[in-house]
Amino acid sequence: MTAINSVTDLSLDGEVAVLTINSPPVNALSLAVREGMFEGFKAALAGPAKAVVLICDGRTFIAGADITNLADMMKGPSLDEIQALMDGADRPIVAAIHGTALGGGLEMALCAHFRVAVPSARLGLPEINLGLIPGAGGTQRLPRVLGPESALELITSGKPMGADEALATGLVDELVTEGDLKPAALGFARKVVREGRPRVRVRDREDKIAAFRGKPEVFAAFRKARADKFRGQVAPDWIIECVQAAVEKPFEEGMALEKQRFMQAAMSPQSTARRYYFFAERNAQKPPGVPAETQPRAIRKVGVVGAGTMGGGIAMTFAHIGAPVTIVEMKQEALDRGLSVIRQNYARSRGAKPEEVEAKMGLIQGALDVSALADVDLVIEAVFENIDVKKEVFAKLDKACKADAILASNTSFLSIDEIAKATGRADRVVGLHFFSPANVMPLLEVVRGDKTSPETLVTALDVGKRIKKTTVVSRVGPGFIANRIATTRIQEAEAYLLEGLDPAGVDKLFYDFGFPMGPFAMLDLVGLDVIADPEKQSIRGWMVAAGRRGQKSGGGFYDYEGGAPKPSEAAAQVIANFRKAKGGPAVEASDEEIVERGLYLEVNEGVKELEQGIAARASDIDVALINGFGWPVDKGGPMYHADQVGLAKVVERLKAFEVKYGPRYKPAPLLERLAAEGKKLTG
């Protein structure tokens, strides 16, 4: 074995050279990895071996460019230079894939003559998720293997393909036994040599693309069918353009176009925002004050208290990952109803087979007493939002559950510290705040009480990752991180109406900013009676009184006959009456100002959360709002967006709004200070 450099080894196993990369955590194409591959391939191709296997140590094959430092890609050997070595090789190269071959990783594998993979491997070009396009030939080589339509699907979805599908589509040549990758890849390489199999370079292949030449309508149709999905994004259009070039133009020309578009994408504000978000999401898993060596406890069996909408949805998230769940309700009737709703939800999901529904339901047991939770590792309480009720439930759970079980509450605004006092294990009490519907919404706020132990916190984060939620840690405070911030913009919706604006006009402005829907459409979706309004004095209260509870009642701020929202005369009448009673004067405000008001209120509230320590970092707030309230990831979230606008400008606007609209716009002291110091929220 020869060390090529600190992250690459070359060894000879009989007639096969093995180039091994070992650069944790994910063997990204850092400067060292590229140097190692360049020198390693040169040495292997100059040596006696008749074939070369490229393989990675650790958890995965190369997972792409090193996005911690994209600018570094300009230094040292480029991917082009390494690929030129591979393309020019006079003997077969075999890529041996485990884990995830993503982005530049798959692009390097596509320069090998053969690919073998273990069944758990996944292969994809997820650059679009980072606002990028593949930049090392992915748009040129993948269509030559899969055909342009499948390639477009894979690249624009950003979702990796499983090994089985990769085998079926010819992206990999052979599946090998899990855990046996290296010997199997060596065996495969020897077979290739023995059989004298032709070394076909992907770049030279014509078979999958020839039939699409001179057919621009294929690409136009693809673009049109996804126009809504790709709204506002720059990368998808460039991907389609490049794949079309792969079909229409010589390889080198297609590569040149891809390079140019990659550079443009990399410089775009969208990509910068998305890369910021990528690391923000991962940093959110590392709350401050938790020793690095803290290990999560194993959570095998789960209990849920309450079989209502939330409890049922939560149970489903665990059944999805194959964990047995026991749901406890007080009355048989409520339990039966809850279980039957879960069954209906499963049966309604797309492509659900009866046996799969039964398998999922088999994981969910009902019970009428918390004594059924004696052996669970984690309980999530999802009962009525009343502190006395919750305390009673927690006192019972404390007695019924084993001593080391974690007791979690799904409360959306009550104090975890108060709830924990009802138990003798405050260190093992935590909040797990799911968003409705719990089995669909990606955000999970993990609420850290004063006494929650690091182990409990880390376990909660680990559970969140296992059930495929995006987790953010919040301290105890009304509305935690996300609801508290989003409420400010939603409340402002009422002010817009009082000033004489109409729901559709306001919604369009926020939609155009990048939200999936504006505040009124969102209220209709959630239900106007869901958000607390005890005095019924808000426009929501007036709408509910007029029988307009939102989409579920056929109408709210919009009418929903036939499904799609349409402006509503009945709603306009309620709004007119409301305005008359509340007496709002008409206000002159530009479209820009209307949007700024909503967004900067959120920014200001976020800064207050930082001041109060509710959120540990500005980036945690962004992760929460993107996943909980559809904040456009292309804008990076409210705090990142404020940094891009410039905090001085945000403060200046808030002060102007304070004068014009009232004290709710008063900038938070921390925001003023950071702005004065020329600092940023997101570091």
Nearest approach in angstroms of CB 149 to ligand COA is: 22
Contact in structure between 99 and 61 (CB atoms under 8 Å): yes
Q: Is 107 a catalytic residue?
A: yes
Please, which residue, 15 or 57, has the CB nearer to ligand COA? 57
Chain centre to alpha carbon of residue 489:
23
Interface residues for ligand COA in 260-299 (CB under 6 A)?
A: 282
- Spatial CA neighbour of 147 closest among 213, 52, 193: 213
Contact yes or no for 614/475 (Cβ under 8 A): yes
255 phi and psi angles, rounded to 5 deg: -65, -40
Q: How many residues touch ligand COA (CB under 6 A)?
A: 18
Query: What is the separation of C-alpha 30 from the centre of its chain, rounded to a whole number of angstroms?
Result: 24
Pick between residue 78 and residue 309 the one whose CB is nearest to ligand COA: 78
The residue among 64 and 550 lying less far from ligand COA, judged by its C-beta, is 64
State which residue, 89 or 111, has the beta carbon closest to ligand COA: 111
**Cα–Cα distance, 221 to 231 (Å, whole number):** 16
Spatial distance between the Cα atoms of 20 and 120, rounded to a whole number of angstroms? 20
- Report in angstroms how near the CB of residue 156 gets to ligand COA at its nearest: 14
Q: Do 413 and 442 form a contact (C-beta atoms < 8 A)? A: no
Supply the minimum distance, in Å, between the C-beta of residue 453 and ligand COA: 22
Q: Does the footprint of ligand COA cover residue 426 (CB under 6 A)?
A: no
Quick one: which segment of 97-105, 186-194, 289-297, 455-463 binds ligand COA (CB under 6 A)? Answer: 97-105
Instruction: Quote the least distance from Cβ 31 to ligand COA, whole Å.
Output: 12
Q: Strands, DSSP E only, in 79-160?
A: 93-97, 100-102, 114-117, 122-124
Neighbours of 589 (CB within 10 A): 18
Q: With residue 58 as reference, give the H or E element that holds it.
A: none
Q: Which residues of 27-61 are buried (b: 16+ CB within 10 A; e: fewer)?
A: bbbbbbbbbbbbbbbebbbeeebebbbbbbeeebb
**Could you count the other beta carbons within 10 Å of the beta carbon of residue 392?**
13
SS3 category, 523? helix
- Asked if 658 and 665 count as a contact pair (C-beta separation under 8 A), the reply is yes
What's the closest the beta carbon of residue 32 comes to ligand COA, in angstroms? Answer: 13
65 vs 342, beta carbon nearer ligand COA: 65
Calculate the CA dihedral of residues 508, 514, 516, 522 and round it to 10 degrees. -60
Active-site entry in 107, 258, 281, 445: 107
Torsion sign (Cα): 532, 535, 537, 540 = positive
Contacts of residue 46, Cβ cutoff 8 Å, sequence gap at least 6: none
Complex with ligand COA: residue 64 or 632, whichever CB lies closer:
64
CB of 321 to ligand COA, least distance (A): 15
The reply to whether 103 sits near ligand COA by the rule CB under 6 A is yes
Q: Which sign does the torsion angle of CA 580, 582, 586, 591 carry?
A: negative
- Residue 459: closest CA among 578, 577, 299, 269: 299
- DSSP symbols for 416-472: HHHHHTTSS-GGGEEEEEE-SSTTT--EEEEEE-TT--HHHHHHHHHHHHHTTPEEE
Kindly state the greatest CA–CA separation across the chain: 90
Q: Which stretch binds ligand COA (CB under 6 A): 95-103, 197-205, 300-308, 439-447?
A: 95-103
- Which span (98-106, 429-437, 597-605, 646-654) binds ligand COA, by CB under 6 A? 98-106
Q: What six digits make up the tokens of 560?
A: 């929903």
Q: Which is nearer to ligand COA, 102 or 327 (CB)?
A: 102
Q: Is 592 a catalytic residue?
A: no
Binding mask 46-85 for ligand COA (x = CB under 6 A): --------------x--xxxxxx-----------------
* Contacting ligand COA within 220-259 (CB under 6 A): none
Minimum CB distance to ligand COA, residue 217 (Å): 31
CB closer to ligand COA out of 73 and 650: 73
- Given a contact cutoff of 8 angstroms between Cβ atoms, the answer to whether 305 and 380 are in contact is yes
Query: Quick one: 20 or 129, whose CB is closer to ligand COA?
Result: 129
Cβ proximity to ligand COA, 58 vs 324, nearer residue: 58
Question: In the range 193-222, which residues lie near ligand COA by CB under 6 A?
Answer: none
The least CB distance from residue 439 to ligand COA, in Å, is 21
Query: Which string of x and - marks every residue 17-36 that binds ligand COA (by CB under 6 A)?
Result: --------xx-x--------
CA distance 634 to 302: 36
Give min distance, CB of 374 to ligand COA, in A.
33
Helix (H, G, I), strand (E, B) or coil at 249: coil
Q: How many residues does the chain have?
A: 683
Query: Of the residues 35, 39, 127, 602, which is catalytic?
Result: 127
Site for ligand COA in 112-141 (CB under 6 A): 126-127, 130, 132
The residue from 100, 233, 271, 604 that contacts ligand COA (CB under 6 A) is 100
Which parts of 288-404 are beta strand (E)? 302-305, 325-328, 364-367, 378-381
Question: Closest separation between CB of residue 106 and ligand COA, Å?
Answer: 9
Q: Between residue 341 and residue 400, which ones bind ligand COA under the rule CB under 6 A? A: none
Q: Give the residue numbers marked as catalytic.
A: 107, 127
Contacts with ligand COA by CB under 6 A lie at 25-26, 28, 60, 63-68, 100, 102-103, 126-127, 130, 132, 282
